[in-house]
Structures are given as structure tokens and as C-alpha cells.
Amino acid sequence: MIVFADIMSAAILFAIPLLIVALGGMFSERSGTINIALEGIMIIGALFSCLYLDSVAKSGWGEKHAQLAMLLAILVAGAAGIIYALLLAIASVSLKADQTIGGTALNMFAPAFAIVLSWAVQGQGQTTINIPTWIRITQETFGFHASAHPGFFEALVFKSLYLTTPIALIILGLTVFLIYKTKFGLRLRSCGEHPQAADSVGINVYKFRYIGVGISGMLGGIGGLAFTTAAGSGFQATVAGYGFFALAVMIFGNWKPMRIFGAALFFALFKVIGAYTGSLAFLPDFSGIKSADNIYQMLPYVVTMIVLIFTSGKSRAPKAEGIPYDKGTR
Amino acid sequence: MRKRLNKIIHSHGFASFLASVASIGIGLIFGFVLLLCFKSSQSITGLGHLLFAGFSTPEKFAKVLYQAAPLIMTGLSVGFAFKTGLFNIGAVGQYIIGTFFALYAGIILQCPWWAAMLAAMLGGAIWGAIPGLCKAFFNVNEVITSIMFNWIGLFTVNLMIPNLPAILDKGVSNRTANLDATNASAIIPKWGLDKLLGSTYMNISILLSILIAVIIFIILNKTTFGYELKACGLNKNASIYAGISAKRNIVLSMVIAGGLSGLGGGIYYLSGTAQFTITKILPAMGFNGIPVALLAASNPVGTIFSALFISYIQVGGEAMQPEFAKEIVDIIIAVIIYLSAFSLLMKGLIMRILNWKRAKRLAAESEEVTK
């Protein structure tokens, strides 16, 4: 049973960054702007928040106020993401440039900038920014002691819990509310479906697209931090393609928040299973084949593709996404 | 003569050329500012390396050409799909599969180089066909399929190579054999270019890539097939109305784009100087096809120059080490692409400046006439 708890907890840990970032992408695309720059935004968010965590770890303040420091790091990640995403908004909303071009440029800029900046801060060749271990939420955080033999529930909750996990779930709830239950959500969606119609009833399309891209920047940045804490070996100027997976999860989730949640869990579960093949007896171990771990690493992608092929018939992107809005056109 | 010159200067093509040059200039200035920020004492030497290393020795220049050839191919691949309204982010996966097919044909089947190149093209085409088919028949967004198949391709190759003892180098389980030792006929011929530039990197791959770029240019601009592809990219519904099969064109466009990327992988690894090593990350050569295509505005002939430029500046970046991180080059390229995103805006500005001068001169001339 403990194995299942471990798998579940690892799957949730990896689903969280996917969920946050895919929700970010959804905000942007629902407003009509394709945000292919999520990968770059994640890197920038992770870069600045990890630099922040590193500095408070060195000063000693962070360890005494661990969760407050983590919360501030999340804010730093979100702010850095917003600022970086604004570069995309300026290019693709105000200047009406091609959205994939601007996004690709930002994706290319981020990892290079992360390496250059971490060299400048930590010294030549020092690419890895270490993350302090005290950011993990444990039983001690709530004032009671961890038992020597954790049960199912304890292993599930406390094996790898970070502040990003509850925050991601709050973000999910807020997103559902915001998109479907508020005036803001309706207006945002209208800008992604038919901006001319939205404009004709007095909605400022440019403003909503800026907000959409801005929110995607914030969530992308936080997702970058969530990924780095999940990966667990410090920040190495990369998020290993998670920004692109998040894009896939968003499409897989059909641009709907709850479905995105399901898609993120599904993808993460298959991603984690491969790491636990040894402890799951019912999985074949392909003993005759060399480097068989590649089969399991391939699994989440193959399964996602199969599911997509069967479910995509009705899939529909926001109608006006990718087209810069120009007041003059009809 | 002067009239003709004037005509060239005031054409749109010239304005977009100037816009590209301006983007490149601003990108380089940005890079120089970064150098100044991080190590001002060595910034001038660093800039010198960046700008002139590619021409400093024949060997460095050979490296520029050697790296430019696969970049032209992946750039053409991305650009070709762009013309059909598809974003081929899967050039990396097609590149890896192309590499594997080329090495399988070269090392295990002992094919000559041209057959191995065709195998590379076939591998890439298969990998490109999958997103095309998924898009045409199952309405799956080609971006997501391409991303998935990049990783599936990487893991497939990582799985295949250790299980094919014949393809491996002696005593290792993660690197393919040296072509020189196993099948020298699979190495792309050099035609004396290696002696000319004094570098083993050099072979005819750059000439081949340029030839293919020209062929792609002709297909896109001078044939009915190319016209149909572009029509699908510009307005899918209108082209369906005009009797063009959009599904067929989506699949064909991805097949060709995939074949081009696959050929890029073949070109790089059939040079005889590179041995494929298993990695867990996607190779940059495939991803760099995207900036190459964007910088060239998807124009096949422009791709030749943008690939040469990116390869040149990358060689310069390597020469900047160890004082500076070679990633500064990526930053410069990113800035250039970001600026090229508003090439239309810049082009308009440049046109206005040019025409303003012209209008002023015309006004002055007409004044003289009236006198």
C-alpha cells in the first residue's frame, strides 16, 4: 500500500506544475493569444524565485520562517513571470506581431539568460542554484512529530508536500469560478472567441488580452518554481520541456479548467509509473531488452496520443486565438 | 542604371532586408551591453571573438559551413510547414529519427552515402507524417502531436541503439560506431573541399543543402502543388471551396517537412566526424530550425543566409569561452527573433524614411524644373 501512496504523492507532485502552467496557458488562449512562451516563462519564474530562496537560505532568515519564505518565493516567481510575459503581450497584442515568433524568442532567451545570470551571481560555470530543503512541509511544520513508520495517509500527504500544492488547488478553484461565474470570465472568453463582437459592446479587447497574458505569466512563473521543487535537484536553467507538456495538457484538457486538472493528473501518473517499475510486480520488466526504462519513459506520451486520437474529434480551440486583434478589420 | 538602383531601393524586398539588418544590429548591440555588464574589461575582446571568429581561420570557417548545412535543412522544414499554416515544432524528433535511419543504413546495411541520406529522409518523413495524419483525420493539433513525438522519437532511438550491437562503437553502449572504420562509403564525399579549407569537417553537405533550398523554393513558388500548399496555409476554407484537398496537403506538407528535418540529421551524422551519443535531452540542432526559419521569414532562399548567420555567430560564441558563457549567443539570437516579430512595423518605418527622402528629392527636382 505504501508504494501506491508513494506513487500517488509523486504523481500529484509532478501534476502540480503541469496544472498551474496549463491553467496559465488557458487564460492566455481564452483571451485570444497563443502563449507558446510558457517554457521560457517557467524558467524565468524558477530562476528568480530560486535566487531569492538561495539568498534567504544563506542569510539564515529563511530557515526560521520557512513557509513565509516559500510564500514570498512564490510571489517572486509570479511577479517575474508577469514581467516576462508582458514582453509577449507587447509584441503580440500592441504591436500585432506573430504570436509564435515572439513566444519562440522568449523561449530561447530564458534558458540562456538563466545560465548567464546564475554565472554572474554564483561565479563562472556555476549553473545550478541549490534549493534549500526546509521548504518542504512536514509534520513538524504543524507542530507534531513524524511517526517512525508512516501509514498510508501520512505517506500520501507528507512524503513530498510543498506550499505550491495547496496554492495550486486554490488557483484551480479560483480559475473555475473566475472563468465561468464572473463577468470578467465571460468577457475574457468573448475576446478569444469573437473579439469584434466583444469590442462592439464596449469591451476593451487589448486590455483583456493583456490581462490574459499577464495571468498566464504569473501562473507560468509559479509553475516554474513548482517544477523545480518537484524535480528536487536544484535549478539548472531548464524545466525539461514542461512548458510544452503543459501546452499539451491544456489542449488535452480542451481549454477547460477541470479537464486540465484531470489531464495533468493522468499525464503525471503515467510519467511516475515508470520510476516505480521495480516495486510494482504486475508491470512487465522487459528483461530481455537493454535500456528498457525507455519504454516506460515513452509511456505517458504514447498514452496521451492514443487518448487524444480518440477524444479530439470534438476538440475546439478558442476561435480567435493566434490572430492579433485589429480594430480596423471585420 | 540609377533608375534601376532606385527601383531596388524602394522595393519591399529591400525594406525587409534592411529591417532584418536593423534587427541583427540591435541584437548585437544588446549582446555587447551584456558583455559590458558582466565583464567590462574583456568585453571588446569578447565582441571581437563573437564577430570575427568565424572568418579568423579556414578551419573555423569550415565549421561554420559544416554546422550551417543541417541548420538549413531543419530551417527549411519549419519554414515549409509554416507556409502551409502548420507549426512544425517536431523538427527535433524528425531530426533524431532521420539520424537513426541514416546510421542504421550506413553502419548495419552498409549502404553508400546517398542511400543512407535517402533513408534519413524516409525516417524523418515517417515521423513528420504522424502529426500530419493526426491533424488531417483526427483533428489533433499538430503542435501537441509534434511535441509528444519529439520525446517518443528520442526514447525510441535511445531504446534501439543499445539493442543493436552492430551499430555501436567498440566497448561502449551509448555511442554509434565511427563511420571511417565501419563503412567509409557512407561518409558524404568531400570533393577536395576539406583540403581547400584544411578541415576534416568540410564536405559537400553545404552545397547539397543549398541545392535543396533552391528546389524547395521552386516547388513553393513555381508549381501548382506549391500554390495549393500556400493557399491552404493562407485560407483553408477558401482553398477547400476552390477544390483543393486540405487533408491531402496537410499530410504532404508534414511529410516533406519531416523528410527535410530527417535529412538534416543524416547530413550531420554522415559527415564522418560526428558520432551519435545517446542523450536524455532533445538536440539543439532541431530546435534551432525554428529561429532559422523565423529569421528568414520562411523564405527558402533566405533560410540559407539565416542558417549561415546563426552558425557563424555560434562559432563566434564558442570562441568567446571561457571568459563568457556561449549562451550569450542564444540571447542575441532571441533578441533578433523578437525584433523580427515586428518586422512589418520596422519595414513600414524604413519604407517611410526611404520614401520621405525620395519625396523631398522629387519636390526639389520639380522646383528646379519650374525655375
Q: For chain A (length 330 residues), average pLDDT per consecutive 10? A: 81 93 95 92 96 91 87 96 95 85 90 91 84 82 70 73 92 96 95 92 94 96 94 85 88 91 91 73 70 82 86 79 79
Residue B47: CA count within 13 A, CB half-sphere: 19
Nearest to B69 by CA among B216, B266, B215, B221: B266
Whether the Cβ atoms of residue B92 and residue B282 lie closer than 8 Å to each other = yes
Name the class of domain A2-135+150-311: mainly alpha
Q: Shortest Cα distance from B148 to chain A (angstroms)?
A: 5
Within a domain: residue B109? yes
Residue B235: the pLDDT is 84
Q: Shortest Cα distance from A232 to chain B (angstroms)?
A: 17
Cell of B281: 535531452
Whether the Cβ atoms of residue B336 and residue B295 lie closer than 8 Å to each other = yes
- Segment A257-283, tens digit of pLDDT: 999 999 999 989 988 887 776 666 666
- Segment B284-322, tens digit of pLDDT: 888 889 889 988 888 899 999 999 999 999 999 888 887
* Minimal-distance CA residue of chain A relative to B145: A305
pLDDT band with cut points at 50, 70 and 90 for residue B117:
very high
- How far apart CA B193 and CA B189 sit, in angstroms, is 9
- How far apart CA B100 and CA B154 sit, in angstroms, is 10
* Minimal-distance CA residue of chain B relative to A249: B144
Residue A76: the pLDDT is 96
- Of the listed ranges A240-244, B56-60, B280-284, B356-360, the least confidently predicted one is B356-360
Is the CB of B144 less than 8 angstroms away from the CB of A301?
Answer: no
Q: Shortest Cα distance from B20 to chain A (angstroms)?
A: 14
- Segment B247-284, tens digit of pLDDT: 899 999 999 999 999 999 999 999 878 788 888 888 88
Residue A10: CA count within 13 A, CB half-sphere: 16
Structural domain harbouring B121: 58-322
Q: Count how many domains chain B has.
A: 1
Nearest to A31 by CA among A88, A109, A106: A88
Residues of A in contact with B132 (CB under 8 A): none
Q: Shortest Cα distance from B225 to chain A (angstroms)?
A: 26
- How far apart CA B231 and CA B193 sit, in angstroms, is 41
Cell of A169: 488547488
For helices A99-122 and A66-89, angle between their N-to-C axes, nearest 10 degrees: 140
How many CB atoms lie under 10 A from the CB of residue A23?
A: 29
Q: Does residue B10 surpass a pLDDT of 70?
A: no
- How far apart CA B111 and CA A283 sit, in angstroms, is 39
- How far apart CA B317 and CA B309 sit, in angstroms, is 12
Residues of A in contact with B345 (CB under 8 A): 95, 97
Residue A157: CA count within 13 A, CB half-sphere: 11
Residues of A in contact with B83 (CB under 8 A): none
Is the CB of B141 less than 8 angstroms away from the CB of A101?
Answer: no
How many CB atoms lie under 10 A from the CB of residue B77?
A: 34
Residues of A in contact with B341 (CB under 8 A): 91-92, 95, 97-98, 101-102, 105
Return phi, psi of residue B134, to 5°: -60, -40
How many CB atoms lie under 10 A from the CB of residue A19?
A: 32
Whether the Cβ atoms of residue B290 and residue B91 lie closer than 8 Å to each other = yes
- Segment B25-39, tens digit of pLDDT: 999 999 899 888 877
Q: Does residue B193 surpass a pLDDT of 80?
A: no
Residue B262, amino acid: G
Within a domain: residue B29? no
Residues of B in contact with A96 (CB under 8 A): 344
Within a domain: residue B30? no
Residue B128: the pLDDT is 95
Q: What is the DSSP string of A153-201?
A: HHHHHHSS--THHHHHHHHHHHHHHHHHHSHHHHHHHHHHH-HHHHHHT
- Segment A86-139, tens digit of pLDDT: 999 999 888 888 888 888 899 999 999 999 998 888 888 788 888 888 888 877
Window B:168-197, CB contacts with A under 8 Å: 173
Within a domain: residue B118? yes
Taking CA atoms, A154 is separated from A139, A164, A230, in Å, by 9, 18, 18
Residue B371: the pLDDT is 63
* Bond before B322 cis per omega within 30 degrees: yes
Window B:352-371, CB contacts with A under 8 Å: none
**Region B233-238 average pLDDT:** 85
Q: Does residue B227 surpass a pLDDT of 70?
A: yes
Residue A226: the pLDDT is 94
Residue B12: the pLDDT is 66
Does the pTM surpass 0.95? The reply is: no
Residue A131, amino acid: I
Is the CB of B139 less than 8 angstroms away from the CB of A315?
Answer: yes
Nearest to B265 by CA among B163, B132, B123, B110: B123
Is the CB of A105 less than 8 angstroms away from the CB of B341?
Answer: yes
- How far apart CA B252 and CA B300 sit, in angstroms, is 17
Taking CA atoms, A62 is separated from A54, A161, A232, B30, in Å, by 9, 18, 18, 36
Segments making up each domain of chain A, as ranges? 2-135+150-311
Within a domain: residue B312? yes
Is the CB of B159 less than 8 angstroms away from the CB of A298?
Answer: yes
Is the CB of A315 less than 8 angstroms away from the CB of B140?
Answer: yes
By CB neighbour count within 10 A (0-12 exposed, 13-18 middle, 19+ buried), where does B189 fall? Answer: middle
pLDDT band with cut points at 50, 70 and 90 for residue B150:
very high
* Minimal-distance CA residue of chain A relative to B281: A240
Q: Shortest Cα distance from A204 to chain B (angstroms)?
A: 23
Residue B370: the pLDDT is 67
Within a domain: residue B188? yes
Residues in contact with B197: Cβ distance below 8 Å, sequence separation at least 6, in sequence order: B58, B59, B61, B62, B65
Residues of B in contact with A34 (CB under 8 A): none
DSSP letter assigned to residue B194: H
Within a domain: residue B347? no
Whether the Cβ atoms of residue B332 and residue B313 lie closer than 8 Å to each other = yes
Return phi, psi of residue B293, to 5°: -65, -40
Residue B192: the pLDDT is 76
**Region B121-137 average pLDDT:** 94
CATH of residue B229's domain is 1.10.3470
Phi-psi region of A291 (alpha: psi -120 to 50; beta: other; left: phi over 0): left
Three-state DSSP class for residue B175: strand
What mean pLDDT value characterizes chain B? 86
By CB neighbour count within 10 A (0-12 exposed, 13-18 middle, 19+ buried), where does B96 fall? Answer: buried
- How far apart CA B121 and CA B265 sit, in angstroms, is 9
